Amino acid sequence: MPELPEVETTRRGLAPHLEGHTVCSATVRQRRLRWPVEPDFERRIAGARILKLERRAKYLLVHTDRGCAIWHLGMSGSLRLVEPGAEVRKHDHVDWVLDSGLCLRFHDPRRFGALLWTDSDPAAHDLLAHLGPEPLSEEFCGDYLFRVSRGRRQAVKTLIMDGRVVVGVGNIYASESLFLAGIRPDRAAGTISRARYGRLTDAIKQVLARSIEQGGTTLRDFIGGDGKPGYFAQQLNVYGRTGERCRQCGGPVRDMVLGQRSTFFCRRCQR
């Protein structure tokens, strides 16, 4: 599914084809996404000139001279440029026809994605206004996590997956980061030392940066037809490896449920 690295990869891939171009027209085939696409979205975007593509958390912001479109890919969404006249497949919910002749197409089987419009600063939009810092920013550091975790009894894994604390840390990266930092996912956030939060923020930055370098390869990118995960899965230390041997100590990888999310860890390497 699109994690932060994949959204960033999407942004980098689309930017040269979108920035400076005009949206001639838009077609919305399915309005019922995570939130309904507003009725006059097509009218608002038609004729708009795209100024810049920006990523904030897992949102892709398309700044235009008329306002800003806010995309979210949910967990099964993708944005691709297709040739005009390309066959429309099931779950192809939105098209933007560009003045270049290319078409920006949104495909999203599970419809957890969203397409919103705002006439004002998107940072002030309800969905963005209360988000925590970007994980790759300097603001996100051990001191910060230490400070915001004081007095909290919730598990550290659910803390780092809380978008008000830090954005873009999905379920896979949360387990992987905690493994790299040697911290048990269910440790109460408020009892973890400043030094260990330093190691955790380093681990989060490392795992996200490495994934961006790989073009955001995720679990759902397959090699061959056997359903086996792709490149990135080969680098996973614990995610989805229940019962297999820990790469570090050889012990069995364990799983548990935290905040209704499957969670993977090694009892010996994480405390």
Partner DNA sequence: CCCGATTCCTGTAGGC
Partner DNA sequence: TGCCTACAGGAATCGG
Nearest-approach distance from CB 21 to DNA, in angstroms: 26
The span from the first CA to the last CA of the chain, in angstroms, equals 29
DSSP, collapsed to helix, strand or coil, labels residue 152 as coil
Nearest-approach distance from CB 47 to DNA, in angstroms: 29
Shorter beta-carbon distance to DNA: residue 85 or 257: 257
Q: Considering only CA atoms, which of 105, 106, 263 is closest in space to residue 187?
A: 263
Q: Is 32 annotated as a binding residue?
A: no
Shorter beta-carbon distance to DNA: residue 37 or 48: 37
Interface pick for DNA out of 5, 74, 132, 185 (rule CB under 7 A): 74
The helix (run of H) or strand (run of E) holding residue 262 is strand 261-266
Whether 52 is a known active-site residue: answer: no
Shorter beta-carbon distance to DNA: residue 31 or 199: 31
Whether 3 is a known active-site residue: answer: yes
Query: Restricting to residues 225-264, which ones interact with DNA according to CB under 7 A?
Result: 227, 259-262
Query: Restricting to residues 28-57, which ones interact with DNA according to CB under 7 A?
Result: 32, 34, 57
Whether 11 is a known active-site residue: answer: no
Q: Is 63 annotated as a binding residue?
A: no
Nearest-approach distance from CB 101 to DNA, in angstroms: 29
Q: Considering only CA atoms, which of 129, 3, 123, 125 is closest in space to residue 58?
A: 3
Binding mask 107-146 for DNA (x = CB under 7 A): --xxxx--------------x-------------------
Q: Which of 58, 196, 241, 254 is catalytic?
A: 58
DSSP, collapsed to helix, strand or coil, labels residue 265 as strand
Q: Is 38 exposed, middle or buried (0-12, 13-18, 19+ CB in 10 A)?
A: middle
Place of tokens 């390309």: 86
160 CB-near residues (< 8 Å, 6+ apart): 145, 166, 169, 174, 177, 178, 200, 204
Q: Are strands 92-98 and 103-107 parallel, antiparallel or unpaired?
A: antiparallel
Piece of the chain touching DNA by CB under 7 A; list 19-27, 36-44, 47-55, 72-80: 72-80
Interface pick for DNA out of 22, 25, 27, 76 (rule CB under 7 A): 76
Binding site for DNA (CB under 7 A): 1, 3, 32, 34, 57-59, 72, 74-76, 90-91, 109-112, 127, 151-155, 158, 163, 167-168, 170-172, 189-190, 227, 259-262
Catalytically active residues, by annotation: 2-3, 58, 261
Annotated binding site: 91, 110, 152
Annotated binding site for DNA: 91, 110, 152
